[in-house]
Amino acid sequence: MLIATTPGIPEHEVVETLGLVQGSTIRAKHVGTDIVASLRSLVGGEVKGYTAMMAGSREQAMDRMIEQARLMGADAVVSVRVTTSTVMAGAAEILCYGTAVKLK
């Protein structure tokens, strides 16, 4: 499955637009990570536990979007975007969405 943030894919012609596809996940912070984050805020630097959590969340949301596109018979997903929002204190949603298309 080809994935692009652009409206098309170079050297490929979009012959049919199948529609919106999306994938999301909601992840909550871990108490242990919060403790490390609190300490890290005193000295600065990357909070690797949160970095790993968000990377895994993006990957899962992307995988869910791709699976939805496969079920629709898509060859690619174009105009892909990834966004995040706070759902509640300590939990964030990662949403990945784009347009499923058929290519020539």
Phi-psi region of 60 (alpha: psi -120 to 50; beta: other; left: phi over 0): alpha
Q: Are strands 2-3 and 14-28 parallel, antiparallel or unpaired?
A: unpaired
- CA 70 – CA 22 distance, rounded (Å): 12
Quick: pLDDT tens for 36-94: 555 656 666 777 777 888 899 999 999 999 999 999 999 999 999 999 998 887 788 99
Global pTM reads: 0.83
Q: What is the span of the domain harbouring residue 72? A: 2-103
> CA-based Rg of the chain, rounded to a whole angstrom?
17
Side chain identity, residue 7: P
Query: Residue 79's domain is classified under what CATH number?
Result: 3.30.110.70
| CA–CA gap between residue 12 and residue 55 (Å, rounded) | 29
Domain count, the chain: 1
More reliable by pLDDT, 13 or 48: 13
